[in-house]
Amino acid sequence: MKSMSLVQTLGFVLLFASWVGAVANQNPTINTLYKDPNQPMNLRIKVLMDQMTLAEKIAQMAQIDNRQVTAEILRDYSIGSLISAAGATPHENHSATPEDWVDMMNDYQKGSLSSRLGIPMLYAIDSVHGHNSVYRATLFPHNIGLGATRDPELVKRIGAATALETRATGIPYVFSPCIAVCRDPRWGRCYESYSEDYKIVIQMTEIINGLQGEIPPNSRKGVPYIGGKDKVAACAKHFVGDGGTIHGIDENNTITDWHGLLSIHMPAYYHSVIKGVSTIMVSYSSWNGKKMHSNKNLITHFLKETLKFRGFVISDWQGIDRMTYPWSSHYSDSLMKAINAGIDMVMVPPNITEFLNIVTSHVKNKLIPISRIDDAVRRILRVKFTLGLFENPLTDYSLVDQIGSQAHRDLAREAVRKSLVLLKNGEDADSPLLPLPKKTSKILVAGSHANNIGLQCGGWTINWQGYNLNNITAGTTILNAISTAVDPSTEIVYSENPDAELLKTNNFSYAIVVVGEPPYAEGNGDNTNLTIPEPGLSTMTNVCKSTKCIVVLVSGRPLVVEPYLSSLDVLVAAWLPGTEGQGVADVLFGDYPFTGKLPRTWFKTVDQLPMNVGDKHYDPLFPFGFGLTIGAS
């Protein structure tokens, strides 16, 4: 993100002058009862809000990119929230230490605490498969792999580990879980979806209990719950129907009737609200042509009034800007529609002064009622009080040893082995190739994804789109895992793309070929052909013509394999396993059984898409729920 322009800076100065004037006219005597943790929360909220200016209330509704802010801006404006967008690390250093993160957090928070009322800011980050922006953090399989485990208790433990590692850097709010029901694998966010089946997605909302803590019995439905300083506020996203867009095009239109929306895309939100989820993020997409960011019927009437959701609703990144095309072409009108629709907190990178001026004008001109502003601020403060931010706004280094801890890496390794789906094992049940022998003469390991942590982890890893780099963070590649698993006497030959001479002159017992997709996120991952990218496809076909081959496919969704299946001896769907490649070797060599089941239908050709279980003309290569099982050796 670029620095502020001169125009933005001048606007900032002018707005600051008006802000100071507004604050200076207030009664200097502040009732600090809202800082007393022994008082009822509703009283604390009321006492605080009664003393807030309109300017301070509107500022609480803003979430700013941390690269566009200083501690002084937080102090002078009383900004509500900051975000580290993926890649926004301390000092723009991707290998920043946990201590660097803690120091950055505290510097910002001290700015907020020195504001007139001392309201702490709420810092947010995309911890979507572990604390994925932090170097050396434990990175778990992406959601599609977790859906293959069918194990809600495992996912809950992953939520708890993610919360602990995120809190270790001082951050109390994560944009997780994504509870989209991906109905078309051409969608670039499909790996962020647990399944095409809403029932699997419902089961996986158990991650909320891991992130936030188990909600106490008899708690009020819809009220946010966070169970301590090692827990975080969670965010169910993207409300609603983001996984059902036409042809899987990101941010596009989901066409379905009310019954279709309620029966497929909405159920996981019921369960998230019941579990006390703190926040819900609105989708860029539309429902039957109406932008979700302006859908008052769904955000206010259904989510807040019918489902009794008491946390706050947040926009997506520049979600207000993207309500029109070209983006931001009617920003003032879009802001009015979005806030009136029920959005409480607005991500406003980078136009904070414009946001504050426009919303203030809308309120003064009665285009946004003050009651709507008060409702938004009340919800935001409820989450802050629930988090204990007023009592414990600053953090320390006491949890930094939790980043990438052995216990968390062991958990990730368990998740990897439970997520693997065995699609083919030999020509038939009488001639299986797996489990592989650890003691043999010579093994070939090949493929672009065999020795590359960046490819293994996929998107949302250190950076938004991920990296095709092996040293991007700490972890164990599949090649390293194989090397550790086999007998010391077994020779391993590694060649990313072996030539004909190597294949011809070496007598390999078998080959393990690891290929798949490059990293991607969101719209960059939209794909209409879903073929295995080169050079992986050529590597796979060349090796499998020459020797017995075990193909491990690293991808965020099913890919076209039907034309090649007969030439492969073994096919394993490994999804996007994260940093702990040992989980792959654990199962290939029989230390643990294959237990994963397809969380989505594996198509024969892309011409069949969209195709989901229960469809009238269901004709898959591998059906939803498929997965061969073999025991441990």
Tokens read off for 219:
């708690």
Q: What span, in angstroms and rounded, lies between the C-alpha atoms of 597 and 473?
A: 29
Identify whether 517 is a catalytic site residue: no
Residues 6+ apart with CB under 8 A from 238: 178, 180, 281, 282, 283, 284, 285, 292, 316
The residue type of 7 is: V
DSSP class of residue 304 equals I
DSSP class of residue 292 equals G
- Residues 114, 149: contact at Cβ < 8 Å? no
Residues 6+ apart with CB under 8 A from 519: 454, 455, 457, 458, 459, 461, 465, 466, 467, 468
Q: What span, in angstroms and rounded, lies between the C-alpha atoms of 132 and 457?
A: 9
What phi-psi label fits residue 310: left (phi over 0), alpha (psi between -120 and 50 degrees) or beta? alpha
Angle at 387 between CA 204 and CA 228, to 5 degrees: 70
Q: What span, in angstroms and rounded, lies between the C-alpha atoms of 210 and 194?
A: 16
Kind of pairing, strands 570-575 and 549-554?
parallel
Identify whether 316 is a catalytic site residue: yes
The residue type of 446 is: A
Residue 142: closest CA among 587, 470, 557, 504: 557
Per the residue annotation, which of 103, 192, 242, 316 is the catalytic one?
A: 316
Q: What span, in angstroms and rounded, lies between the C-alpha atoms of 479 and 494?
A: 8
User: Would you say the C-alpha torsion 585, 588, 591, 593 has a positive or negative sign?
Assistant: positive
Residue 35: closest CA among 378, 385, 395: 385
CA distances 263 to 42, 189, 361, Å, are: 35, 21, 40
Helix, strand or coil, per DSSP, at residue 173: strand
- Residues 564, 458: contact at Cβ < 8 Å? no
Q: Within a 13 Å sphere around the CA of 504, how many CA atoms are in the beta-carbon half?
A: 3
Q: What span, in angstroms and rounded, lies between the C-alpha atoms of 21 and 286?
A: 41
User: Would you say the C-alpha torsion 317, 319, 321, 327 has a positive or negative sign?
Assistant: positive
Query: Cα torsion for 128, 448, 573, 609, to the nearest 10°?
Result: 80
Residue 139: closest CA among 126, 152, 148: 126
Q: For the stretch 5-18, what's the b/e string if a residue is b when 16 or more beta carbons lie within 10 angstroms of its beta carbon?
A: eeebeebbeebeee
Residue 174: closest CA among 121, 231, 223, 216: 231
Angle at 476 between CA 475 and CA 481, to 5 degrees: 170
The residue type of 429 is: A
DSSP class of residue 469 equals -
Per the residue annotation, which of 522, 526, 580, 586 is the catalytic one?
A: 522
Active site residues: 316, 522
